[in-house]
Amino acid sequence: MARRALITGITGQDGSYLAEHLLDQGYEVWGLARGQANPRVSRMRKLLSDVQVVRGDLLDQGSLISAVERVRPDEVYNLGAISFVPMSWEQAELTAEVTGMGVLRMLEAIRVCSGVSRGAAAPSGQIRFYQASSSEMFGQVTETPQNERTAFHPRSPYGVAKAYGHFLTQNYRESYGMYAVSGILFNHESPRRGAEFVTRKVSLAVARIKLGMATELRLGNLEARRDWGYAGDYVKAMHLMLQADVPEDYVIGTGHMKSVRELAEAAFDAVGLDWEQYVVTDQKLHRPAEVDLLCADPKKARTQLGWEPRVSFDELVAMMVESDLRLLADGGDPDQDSSWP
């Protein structure tokens, strides 16, 4: 019988790539989707017609229990979150509820449905749980590069909520013997990245400028440095983590960092334009507390899981710019559901 996976955050960037990867591996894939008329669900159904949808919301404990009872998954991937860092200052409580408490609700749904209790041995054939932790937990970094033992100093309500989810996942593993792990993923991008994140904001603006549809690109802090990789590579690490004999947490990244300035330069270069002619900096786009740099040490994932990123920074930037040029040239609107590449 096919193994069954339940993915929260199925309408997001990672949900789509993970679902494709698991379908390729022969899984029966279920996606948890919220809302009664969520346009992102219709968009997802068009791209991923083999994914089955179960309704649920990370804010609603009962809905998660019902979803786990209905799907009876072998593996649960908790990717659902408020994931845009600036929004976490504007809606800090909602971020805590979805990105933080949502992890507790999902773990409880699994615990209750599997009949796990304190002190008793975890049943065999238990549901394996993956939590989407984030390099944002490192925040104001205490060492570079960052590994699984680096201390956390989150700099946003998002980072704080992720740290709660991270420690809780570890706690359920230690308290109940549950197979529950976190992947501490560094920034990963793709043509399916939301338009609010800096890489996609840049690739869309470069495409618009090249096609004569825009004349400038407004950015915030150009000096921030990130370790950017390709989402299609990173979802493979999520799956590998749940296949390991022993449940452990892993850092996933490339080990190389670039600044936002270098990102803009590479993207404009890809279409033969000079970034300095078009980029305008805007103080309003700076954050109340910035994460100045993030750089992964992915040695543990390489040696224990055999995981390696395949797509380089330059290939990623070229892929995103080319995809947005095609999308806009074909009359697509990145904000409309049907235009998701």
Active site residues: 134, 136, 158
| Strand ranges in the chain using DSSP code E only, listed in sequence order | 4-8, 28-33, 52-55, 75-78, 128-134, 180-185, 188-189, 217-219, 225-226, 229-230, 250-252, 258-259, 279-281
**With contact defined as beta carbons under 8 Å apart, do 186 and 14 qualify?**
no
Size of the site for ligand NAP (CB under 6 A): 27
158 vs 133: CA distance, rounded Å: 11
For the chain, the residue count is 341
Minimum Å gap between C-beta 198 and ligand F7E is 4
> Of these, 68, 85, 113, 181, which contacts ligand F7E (CB under 6 A)?
85
**With contact defined as beta carbons under 8 Å apart, do 156 and 91 qualify?**
no
CB proximity list for 115: less than 8 A, separation 6 or greater? 123
161 vs 82: CA distance, rounded Å: 10
The answer to whether 134 contacts ligand F7E (rule: CB under 6 A) is yes
Listed ranges 9-17, 216-224, 254-262, 311-319: which one lies at the site for ligand NAP (CB under 6 A):
9-17
280 vs 292: CA distance, rounded Å: 20
The answer to whether 188 contacts ligand NAP (rule: CB under 6 A) is yes
**With contact defined as beta carbons under 8 Å apart, do 239 and 306 qualify?**
no
The answer to whether 198 contacts ligand F7E (rule: CB under 6 A) is yes
Could you say which of ligand F7E, ligand NAP, none residue 285 binds, taking C-beta under 5 to 8 angstroms by partner kind? ligand F7E
CB nearer ligand F7E, residue 201 or residue 236: 201
The answer to whether 213 contacts ligand F7E (rule: CB under 6 A) is no
Listed ranges 25-33, 60-68, 197-205, 237-245: which one lies at the site for ligand F7E (CB under 6 A):
197-205
Residues interacting with ligand F7E, by CB under 6 A? Answer: 83, 85, 134-136, 186-187, 196-198, 201, 219-221, 224, 226, 260, 285, 287, 290-291
Residue numbers of the site for ligand NAP (CB under 6 A)? Answer: 8-15, 34-35, 38, 40, 57-59, 79-83, 98, 132, 134, 185, 187-188, 194
